[in-house]
Amino acid sequence: MNIKLVAIDVDATLLNSSNELTKYTIDVLKEAIAQGIKIVITSGRPLLGTEAYYKKLGIDRRDDQYAINYNGATIRTTSGKMIAETPLSIQDYKDLYELSTKIGIKVHAETADYIYTPYLSVPKYTKFEAKLTNTKTRHVRMQDLKKSDVIAKVMFVDEPEIIEKAKKELPSWVYERFNVVPSSPIYLEFIDKHVSKGNAVKTLANKLSIDISQVMAIGDQGNDLSMVEAAGMGVAMGNGIDAVKSVAQFVTGTNDDNGAAFAVKKFVLNQEKIEN
């Protein structure tokens, strides 16, 4: 296959269950990069939360390498130059905050630099997200939000059973206004209605004059569904949810078995053998 761009999710895809990028995966992706393949980390995280992996791959702070973040709400070069951005409004955040109080679930908003929490005591899953993405939290009351605040996404963050309950209680207006993305059992994300990883991958491929048939997308969760479905070669992780596997052309190994590296070796480097 003539793959020119590989879009790879981070958590439970690029990283193993210990949140590590293995040396083996680094070596395989570096081999692809050396052949001119664009490796694009496509994540719900901010750019700051993925920079360390670009650095390990040797493509950080580059004007000719690219990053898709916030589930497609931003497309940048790895040097930070904005290519495309589709934020939410302050009113969007306020409305989702009001909804969160009605259904009894924790919420926060993410900007380019901070995670905004409306609570004086930061919820544990907001702390987890901040640590995971290397982002600082800031207590910002709803009445103190400014028009200049650029909200990339809003997240409901809570225990898995509370997230599942919230999914069933979302009113129709939420689906009319937002793309609702279940990115993990403890997260439910809200982004602009027209934003998705799939749309962002198509936008970037078009900018680079790469046909979508020459794109591989690898992911495991609901927020990866759109790009796995859109790509010419959609790959689901062995540890992925059934919905992603059902639209993929290939189901690779798990994230603890270097599954993403296996897919790149097989379809990009045309090598079948894999070592753990």
DSSP state of 89: P
**pLDDT surpassing 90 at residue 272:** no
What is the three-state SS of 3-42?
CCEEEECHHHHHCCCCCCCCHHHHHHHHHHHHCCCEEEEE
What does pLDDT average to over the chain? 96
Query: How does pLDDT run across 114-129, given as a tens digit for each residue?
Result: 999 999 999 999 999 9
Q: What residues does each domain of the chain span?
A: 5-85+195-267, 90-192
Which residue is associated with the tokens 């027209």?
A: 194
Residues 6+ apart with CB under 8 A from 13: 218, 219, 220, 224, 237, 255, 259, 260
**pLDDT surpassing 60 at residue 275:** no
Report the percent of the chain where pLDDT is more than 70.
98
pLDDT at 273: 57
**pLDDT surpassing 70 at residue 276:** no
Q: Which fold has domain 90-192?
A: 3.30.1240
Query: How does pLDDT run across 74-123, given as a tens digit for each residue?
Result: 999 999 999 999 999 999 999 999 999 999 999 999 998 899 999 999 99
How would DSSP label each residue in 161-213?
HHHHHHHHH--HHHHHHEEEEEEETTEEEEEETT--HHHHHHHHHHHTT--GG
The verdict on domain 5-85+195-267 having CATH code 3.40.640.10 is no
Residues 6+ apart with CB under 8 A from 175: none
**pLDDT surpassing 50 at residue 274:** no
Is 5-85+195-267's fold the same as 90-192's?
no
Residues belonging to the active site: 9
